[in-house]
Amino acid sequence: MSIRMVALDLDGTTLNSAGRLTERTKKAFARSAEKRVHIVVSTGRSYRSLPEEVRTLPYIEYAITSNGAHINLMSTGEAVYDSFLSENAVAEVARLYQELDTEIEVFIDGQAYMDKSYYDYIKEFGLAYRNVEYVLWSRKPVEGITDLLLENAGCIENVNFCFKSTDDLEDARAKIESIPDATITSSFANNLEVGGPNTSKKTALIELLKMTGVDRSELMCCGDAPNDAAMLEFAGLGVAVGNAWGGTADHADYITGTNDEDGVAQAIERFVL
């Protein structure tokens, strides 16, 4: 199999539990670049939430961010593709936010926002299911998240519904999944993420393959979560890390080591180098 593009989820996949790239992974990227293989980040994070070491590593050529809402050139940060929520979907998100026992995060122009009251709560009390340091660093607090959402209705990349428990999430799932003109997915157990009608990592990769002239059969994708499942199925070679959850591994062709066992580096060494 000849692999010419490698698309990698970040959290739980390429980054270890400390949120870092290991030296083995960086070396695998460097050796891939020497072979003119495109290295692509494909993440639910917004562009401005990418770790510094990811944004500055010269071997990573593109970033698919906000679950496929943007494709950015890593060398310049320029967005070469975008996909937004419809205004109907945004209006329904705003309505459900008032109805449900939930918090939301709103992604606009590469920045993730949350209501200041939620930000302050996390700062004081923490969260059991997320990395608090990452949330406080990457989210910008605003007064009145609903106003921000509606004022930017034509350019919303993604909205995360965040729940206190998975039981609360399941109680709300049907209502969120009925949002019109939207794609619903998840990147961790306590959230549901709302994107545009055609927004997904898979759809963004289809566009990137057209831009680069790479064939689907030459694409390897690695992931761990339900928002990675479609791109794993689409790829010529879909790879799930050993810590994959939510049935994601069922969509993969190969299971590699966990994110703390350099699973991505293992897969690159086996199939690319």
In angstroms, the CA 20 to CA 36 distance is 24
159 pLDDT band (50/70/90 cuts)?
Answer: very high
Give per-residue pLDDT as tens, 161-181: 999 999 999 999 999 999 999
Contact 125, 87 (CB under 8 A): no
H-helix segments, the chain: 23-34, 52-56, 87-99, 116-125, 132-138, 145-151, 166-177, 201-212, 229-234, 263-271
1 pLDDT band (50/70/90 cuts)?
Answer: low
Q: Rounded mean pLDDT of the chain?
A: 96
| CATH, domain range 5-83+200-271 | 3.40.50.1000
Q: What's the predicted TM-score (pTM) here?
A: 0.91
Q: Where are the domains of the chain?
A: 5-83+200-271, 87-195
Give per-residue pLDDT as tens, 226-245: 999 999 999 999 999 999 99
Residue 188 has pLDDT above 90, yes or no: no
Residue 156 has pLDDT above 90, yes or no: yes
Sheet with 70-73, strands from edge to edge, namely: 79-82, 70-73, 60-65, 38-42, 5-8, 219-223, 237-240, 254-255
| CATH, domain range 87-195 | 3.30.1240.10
Contact 34, 56 (CB under 8 A): no
